[in-house]
Structure 1
Amino acid sequence: MVDKAQFSSHLLHPKHWPLWFGVALMKLTQLLPLRWQMTLGKGLGRLVLKLAASRRHTAERNFQLCFPDMPAAEREALLKRNFEETGKALFDTINAWWWSDEKVQQHMTIKGDEHVRNTLDNGQGVILFAVHCLPLEMGARMFGQFQPGIGVYRPHNNPVMEYLQVKGRLRSNKGLVPKRDLRKMVKSLRNPDVIWYTADQDFGRSSAVFIPLYAVPDAATITGATTLAKLGRAKVLPFFVERNDDDTGYNMEILAPLDNFPGENELEDAIRGNKIIEQLIDRNRNQYMWLHRRFKTRPTKETPSLYK
């Protein structure tokens, strides 16, 4: 488990200077009022919408696949708003990594934290069943204000970004575990402790079952929540975070532990999990990560891509 951000003199190599300069500018923006940050983020998102044709195509296709009955004008409005919210998410991450605890607490509301405490007090680990909502980094920082846990993450390929994300995320977590390290996740849950878990992205064919998600009948979906809950003797608690509509702060809610989970069949658990994912996304569709190619993996290699 990673419990410290390791700084090395290699990170100061001249090839990294442009990135460090950009990081310095980003860190300065955390001094701005939240509404100013969100205004900048909104403009950035509109710019990306115009320039990033491939990302726009991915989001448009996701809307077509998930919401085939949605009127075209409504999908276009959702697309524009989603890119604006995506631009704002840059500042959510900046704030999550560099705001003081006091400032985080001034801009947050939390509901359902008693479910976490009750589960841990009962000697069971907590699996926070989350989706990739755009303010997720801030959600982790907020959660750490009352119950630091274990973050499950993908190490970054760039050493500077790896140092920064570990340092930033350890402000609210006891440690970080690479997403493929099942043994350490199970050990943390049996401690008992809290870990984050997301099943709403496409992780490839080898570890997936193909089940419905919205109007897509065969979305590649991992079944790890069942495995973790069984091996870790843990409870699964749905988790959601969003930015206020008026951009004045963040709301987080932890729902009650799922009954009868895990069940007798991991396929049925995964189907149930996708229904929960839909419910969480529908709380604020504007603030979900629609730029991800969620349906890129098809049931067979011969099955045509949904993104062409």
Structure 2
Amino acid sequence: MTNKTKKRTSKHFDRRFKKQLLHPKHWGTWLVVGLLFIFGLMPAWLRDPIARALSWIVLKIAKKPLHVAKVNISHCFPDKSSEQVEELLRDNVDNFVIALLSQAELAIRSNAHIKRRVQLHGFEHVQAAREAGQPIIFIMPHVWPIDYAGLRLNIEIPMVTMAKAHKNELFNWFSNRLRSSQGGRVYMREAGIRSLISELKQDNSFFYLPDEDLGREQSVFAPFLGTEKATLPVVGRLAQAGNAQVLPVSIGYDQAKQHFNLTVLPAVDPDSMKGKENEALALNKIVEQVILAYPEQYMWFLRLLRTRRNPDEDIYQ
């Protein structure tokens, strides 16, 4: 293997099982993973009520994340009363625990089961892009069921993804085994934009999450719900370099019907993303649209408004 090949392969997460994962320091994590597998085998009618019952633990102990979520919701929905903010927060925690306890089913259940659990709508937009010979950059913000969206689409078309490494080696192995269970590669964040462009040129599609706050440098401030947000305008250049179409995607869990609704929306007009300011505005509008479809299922715990126009402002203090 050449040095060049080593450099390339090192950008992927190693999904192979290693003996050091059996070290006693990981036994507590193995217990958690084992429980997740048990929950993954449970039917939703049994698992969901357990998840809702356990959500009160998160509400009791997750003080810092809950504070961040309250700040985000209050800024994004300034017209909401404190009672409405609390109600949205409780629903959000319910959906977090439901998604967490059910996640292992993506790794251990059949594709037929995943297709039943994730109802796919708007696939004609994917087919149109594929018939045009183009890969796809799916736009989706951080939502609790995002892995369901990625793996459901990966059943239909070749895809890769990019993820941040867990500090815990075992969770790292578990989450990346899950995300690559349909054959897609999982890149480390350090792999960078060039790796994604290379994948597009090899006809592999991927999800791009434009809502994360990546700091002031190269970001553009644009309106976002009831506030404004620093957004990195890079999707337009990615799509152009990889000859890709950009398709927004929304997903939400229907607790009554016990399945996910995954909707692929029409392709974004490339002209709407010409220029950094226009692209930031277009991306924020897409994120708004996806969040408002299922506001109780967005990851409000992220510090998505950390970078403010006034560098001395810290809304999370």
| Range class of TM-score, shorter chain | over 0.9
Tell me if the contact between 2:221 and 2:280 (Cα under 8 Å) persists in the aligned partners: no
Structural mapping, 1:141-156, within 5 Å: 141-156=151-166
- Alpha-carbon deviation of 1:286? 0.8
- Name the CA distance, whole Å, in 1 between partners of 2:271 and 2:176: 31
- Percent of pairs with identical residues: 27
Check 1:241–1:261 CA distance in 2 against 1; reply closer, same or farther (3 A cut): farther
Between the two proteins, the alignment pairs up a number of residues equal to: 306
**1:58-96 per-position Cα deviation (integer Å, ceiling 9, x unaligned):** 111111101111233222211111111111120242222
Check 1:261–1:194 CA distance in 2 against 1; reply closer, same or farther (3 A cut): farther
- Whether 1:220 aligns to 2:230 is yes
- Whether 1:186 aligns to 2:204 is no
SS at match of 1:144: helix
| Partner of residue 34, structure 2 | 24
- Alpha-carbon deviation of 1:201? 1.6
SS at match of 2:46: helix
- Name the CA distance, whole Å, in 2 between partners of 1:304 and 1:30: 43
**1:167-204 per-position Cα deviation (integer Å, ceiling 9, x unaligned):** 11111342122234211100111222211100112122
Q: Which runs of 4+ in 1 moved over 6 A?
A: none
Deviates more, 1:99-108 or 1:249-258: 99-108
- Whether 1:279 aligns to 2:289 is yes
- Name the CA distance, whole Å, in 1 between partners of 2:183 and 2:250: 17
One-letter amino acid of the structure 2 residue matched with residue 306 of structure 1: I
| Partner of residue 70, structure 2 | 60
Q: From 200, 207, 211, give the equivalent of 1:200.
A: 211
- Name the CA distance, whole Å, in 2 between partners of 1:271 and 1:86: 28
- Name the CA distance, whole Å, in 2 between partners of 1:241 and 1:8: 34
TM-score by length of 2: 0.90
Structural mapping, 1:208-247, within 5 Å: 208-217=219-228, 219-247=229-257
Tell me if the contact between 2:13 and 2:188 (Cα under 8 Å) persists in the aligned partners: no
- Name the CA distance, whole Å, in 2 between partners of 1:300 and 1:7: 47
Deviates more, 1:265-274 or 1:164-173: 164-173
**1:127-166 per-position Cα deviation (integer Å, ceiling 9, x unaligned):** 0001112111111121122223111222222221121112
- Whether 1:307 aligns to 2:316 is yes
- Name the CA distance, whole Å, in 1 between partners of 2:300 and 2:273: 30
**1:42-71 per-position Cα deviation (integer Å, ceiling 9, x unaligned):** 122222112221122111111110111123
| Partner of residue 126, structure 1 | 136
- Name the CA distance, whole Å, in 2 between partners of 1:82 and 1:224: 29
Tell me if the contact between 2:197 and 2:242 (Cα under 8 Å) persists in the aligned partners: yes
- Name the CA distance, whole Å, in 1 between partners of 2:130 and 2:183: 16
One-letter amino acid of the structure 1 residue matched with residue 210 of structure 2: A
Tell me if the contact between 2:224 and 2:284 (Cα under 8 Å) persists in the aligned partners: yes
Tell me if the contact between 1:200 and 1:277 (Cα under 8 Å) persists in the aligned partners: yes
SS at match of 1:145: helix
- Name the CA distance, whole Å, in 2 between partners of 1:177 and 1:121: 27
SS at match of 1:30: helix
- Name the CA distance, whole Å, in 1 between partners of 2:125 and 2:115: 20
Tell me if the contact between 1:34 and 1:247 (Cα under 8 Å) persists in the aligned partners: no
- Name the CA distance, whole Å, in 1 between partners of 2:209 and 2:183: 17
TM-score by length of 1: 0.93
Q: From 47, 50, 53, give the equivalent of 1:40.
A: 50
Answer 1 or 2: which has greater helix percent.
2
Structural mapping, 1:92-111, within 5 Å: 92-111=102-121
One-letter amino acid of the structure 2 residue matched with residue 204 of structure 1: G
- Structure 2 spans left out of the alignment, 5+ residues: 1-10
One-letter amino acid of the structure 2 residue matched with residue 157 of structure 1: K
| Partner of residue 270, structure 2 | 260
- Structure 1 spans left out of the alignment, 5+ residues: none
Tell me if the contact between 1:66 and 1:216 (Cα under 8 Å) persists in the aligned partners: yes
- Alpha-carbon deviation of 1:267? 1.7
Check 1:90–1:44 CA distance in 2 against 1; reply closer, same or farther (3 A cut): same
| Partner of residue 51, structure 1 | 61
- Alpha-carbon deviation of 1:220? 1.8
- Name the CA distance, whole Å, in 2 between partners of 1:156 and 1:48: 20
- Alpha-carbon deviation of 1:97? 2.7
One-letter amino acid of the structure 2 residue matched with residue 199 of structure 1: P
RMSD: 1.8
